Amino acid sequence: MAQAERPLSDHPTAAESADARTTLAGLGEAAVLARIFPRLPAADAALLGPGDDAAVLAAPDGRYVVTTDMLVHGPDFRWEFSTPTDLGWKAAATNLSDVAAMGARPTALVVAIAAPQDTQVDVLEGVADGLRLACAELAPGCGVVGGDLSTSDVFTIAVTAFGDLDGRRPVRRSGARPGDVVAVAGELGVAARGIALLFESGLEAARGTDAHAVARQLRPMPPIALGVVAADAGATAMMDVSDGLALDARRLARASVVDIEFDALGDDQLRGGEDHSLLATFPADVPLPDGFLRIGAVAPGVGRLLVSGSVFDELGGWDPYAQWDGRLS
Amino acid sequence: MAQAERPLSDHPTAAESADARTTLAGLGEAAVLARIFPRLPAADAALLGPGDDAAVLAAPDGRYVVTTDMLVHGPDFRWEFSTPTDLGWKAAATNLSDVAAMGARPTALVVAIAAPQDTQVDVLEGVADGLRLACAELAPGCGVVGGDLSTSDVFTIAVTAFGDLDGRRPVRRSGARPGDVVAVAGELGVAARGIALLFESGLEAARGTDAHAVARQLRPMPPIALGVVAADAGATAMMDVSDGLALDARRLARASVVDIEFDALGDDQLRGGEDHSLLATFPADVPLPDGFLRIGAVAPGVGRLLVSGSVFDELGGWDPYAQWDGRLS
């Protein structure tokens, strides 16, 4: 909002301490951007990167894949548990996972951040580090091509991710056919165990109990490269398991108008969300690609989920509107 | 954040009134999405629209343009002044303008919204209406291909916009050459007059004083179609005037390593932001396209702005980190 008419606000602390001079308000937008830019990963697909009104990206096969996901302090992450680098990693990973679930190779991200004015600039540097580390580990060649900075009392990060299908058809949720095998790549229920431990006992104690689960909650490790592998192997349907296997499997069953029958699976595996594993269906005569494990089969049906032969209706999952109680700790 | 382990929060009002049943918390995410989806504009470029893990868009010339911009309640808009439809319009218009400033035709948007849980669903319906109306008016054929909903105490909307260069080279900020003519399409200082009046006297009185300025502040009318026209006419550099003509012109001068010399311009025209007009430079022997007005010329130089022959350093503009005083009214 252009408000040159309004007087500059008085930031008494800005003159008083070194700490205040390194806040976003103390530095101002241009200086903050100058600190962040060098830490961001470059994108191989960028024909024109950050710094102009918009970026220009290559789409060699004439199409591109797009998804967006916003993380808000409170319902989606908490500074009590996450470092800035954890947050940058998670914001990248959750979006990369949606690109992979289409059978696409992630190419680029744009990132909008709204942060409180008294945020230290090293918080944003840490977020940039997390974006860079996640791209390097999960999707080499993918980078940040643009962004926006604003101010808000609630720290918020919105990432939009892009991908290239390299000539492949996109793998949708609606392509599962009776007789297909149902398979998963990645862990199930681990990130949910992590957040349960964090709420129960706090960061240090939770790490003592199950460091792996806490690490996966704070820095998810979705099997990004396996999205393309599954598509090449002939996957008929695929999706990112973000809200819990049971809930997401029923979404896939409904989109495909089939029933999905799981073999025996534990309750934690069925309900725990945020692992960002890949759920896919393959023709029965196709060897499952390395990294995918068979967990069931597709049957003719009307969009139901069955586990060990019984209809499974208690789906779990997480609805921020209906379920978040507003607590921050 | 998957938190199936945590009890459902207690929403005592949800059972008590019809109003509470139509909040985002009362309806839940799936029902909210079902209300919003039919109001969103479809995109001609969508090969696969909303509803899967990601959308797939056409990029016929093998490239696409990307920009992102976030609006936060408080520094960027206020419910005191803006209706939900105004907000949706503004969120679309500011992003479409950045696409146009590259010489591209806007094709699609993705939209992430974080809203307080007690927000009435008709607020989000109004935002969707604004997105649809702005696309229809400013960029026919452009539509919404995906999104995300989250919850936050601070209403926040992040839009990412895409465009097609249709074979044209992108028009950057860095291409202005000595001897070029400097021209503007769109109004200057009108949106800033609108916000000044709103702060001074409130919505109704401001409308009584200058309804046009208030309307342009709340629903900007950037000359989107003229971006492509300018590129086709041979524009050497172009940018969206979002932070004020003087500030943005100096950015263009610095990127191009030239001086920009303006003819006589009023202080309001030089400093007022948010009109989202297009600032462009053209070779002197090219007839200016209809809609562009000459306001100066490019001279050899080092990135300075001169007005009526004198260096102009008081640039105005708006820095949310340094300047927002945290007030909401």
Q: Average pLDDT, stretch B19-35?
A: 90
Per-residue confidence band for B30, with pLDDT thresholds at 50, 70 and 90:
confident
Q: Which residue has the higher pLDDT, B15 or B237?
A: B237
A241 to chain B: closest CA residue: B53
Evaluate whether B102 touches B11 at the Cβ level (below 8 Å): no
Enumerate the residues of chain B whose CB falls inside 8 A of the CB of residue A55: 65-67
Enumerate the residues of chain A whose CB falls inside 8 A of the CB of residue B118: none
Evaluate whether B4 touches A318 at the Cβ level (below 8 Å): yes
Which of B195, B323, B325 should we substitute to test contact with A (largest number of A Cβ atoms within 10 Å)? B323
Question: How would you label B138-147 residue by residue, b for 16+ Cβ within 10 Å and e otherwise?
Answer: bbebbbbbbb
Closest CA to A34 of A109, A99, A125: A125
Instruction: Give B281's strand partners.
Output: B182, B237
Residue B56 touches partner A, C-beta closer than 8 Å = yes
Q: How many CB pairs under 8 A join A and B?
A: 345
Rounded Cα distance, A64 and B57, in Å: 5
Number of H helices, E strands in chain A: 10, 13
If DSSP codes are grouped into helix, strand and coil, which group holds residue A206? helix
Asked if pLDDT for residue B4 goes beyond 60, the answer is no
A21-164: what CATH class?
alpha beta
Looking up tokens 């997401």 gives A248
B45 to chain A: closest CA residue: A63
Rounded Cα distance, A64 and A59, in Å: 6
Evaluate whether B214 touches B198 at the Cβ level (below 8 Å): yes
Res B320: pLDDT = 63
The two structure tokens encoding residue B148: 């995300």
B173-186+222-317: what CATH class?
alpha beta
A189 to chain B: closest CA residue: B2
Evaluate whether B322 touches A150 at the Cβ level (below 8 Å): no
First to last CA, chain A: 33
Residues in Cβ contact with B46 at an 8 Å cutoff, skipping those fewer than 6 apart: B55, B56, B57, B58, B108, B143, B145
Chain Cα centroid distance, residue B170: 19
Res A21: pLDDT = 87
Q: Average pLDDT, stretch B223-245?
A: 97
Residue A53 touches partner B, C-beta closer than 8 Å = yes
Average pLDDT, whole number, for chain B? 91
Rounded Cα distance, B46 and B41, in Å: 11
| Residue B173 is assigned to a ligand binding site | yes
Per-residue confidence band for B17, with pLDDT thresholds at 50, 70 and 90:
low
Which of B2, B174, B323 faces A318 most closely, judged by CB atoms?
B2
Rounded Cα distance, A76 and B112, in Å: 14
Interface of B with A in 283-322 (CB under 8 A): 316-322
Residue A155 touches partner B, C-beta closer than 8 Å = no
Enumerate the residues of chain B whose CB falls inside 8 A of the CB of residue A26: 322
What are the average pLDDT values for consecutive 10-residue runs of chain A, which has 329 residues? 38 56 90 94 96 96 98 96 98 98 98 96 97 98 96 97 98 98 96 95 97 97 98 98 94 97 91 94 97 98 94 72 62
Which of B52, B241, B274 should we substitute to test contact with A (largest number of A Cβ atoms within 10 Å)? B52
CB contact under 8 A, B70 and A321: no
Nearest chain A CA: its distance from B286 CA (Å):
24
Q: Are strands B156-164 and B63-72 parallel, antiparallel or unpaired?
A: antiparallel
Residue type at A150 in one-letter notation: S
Residue-range domain boundaries for chain A: 21-164, 173-186+222-317
Evaluate whether B230 touches B284 at the Cβ level (below 8 Å): no
Q: Average pLDDT, stretch B106-113?
A: 98
Nearest chain B CA: its distance from A6 CA (Å):
8
Instruction: Give B120's strand partners.
Output: B23
**C-alpha pair distances (Å), A193 with each of A274, A282, A313, B71:** 10, 29, 21, 35
Rounded Cα distance, A142 and A132, in Å: 9
Q: Are strands A305-307 and A292-300 parallel, antiparallel or unpaired?
A: unpaired
Res A17: pLDDT = 63
Residue A160 touches partner B, C-beta closer than 8 Å = yes
Q: Please give the angle made by the CA atoms of A145, A38 and B158, to the nearest 5 degrees.
A: 40
Rounded Cα distance, A206 and A195, in Å: 9
Q: Average pLDDT, stretch B187-215?
A: 96
**Phi first, then psi: what are they for B143, rounded to 5°?**
-150, 180
Q: What does CATH list as the number for B18-164?
A: 3.30.1330.10
Rounded Cα distance, B271 and B268, in Å: 5
Chain Cα centroid distance, residue B186: 14
Nearest chain B CA: its distance from A90 CA (Å):
11
Closest CA to A295 of A322, A327, A269: A269
User: Is the four-CA dihedral A96, A102, A103, A109 of positive or negative sign?
Assistant: negative
ipTM reported for the complex, 2 dp: 0.92
Enumerate the residues of chain B whose CB falls inside 8 A of the CB of residue A70: 112-114, 148, 150, 156, 158
Res A319: pLDDT = 65
Orientation angle between helical segments A84-100 and A190-218, nearest 10 degrees: 120
Nearest chain B CA: its distance from A329 CA (Å):
12
CB contact under 8 A, A117 and B52: no
In chain B, % of residues over pLDDT 90: 84
Res A313: pLDDT = 84
User: Is the four-CA dihedral B199, B205, B210, B215 of positive or negative sign?
Assistant: positive
Rounded Cα distance, B87 and B131, in Å: 8
CB contact under 8 A, A52 and B318: no
Beta-carbon count within 10 A of A179 CB: 15
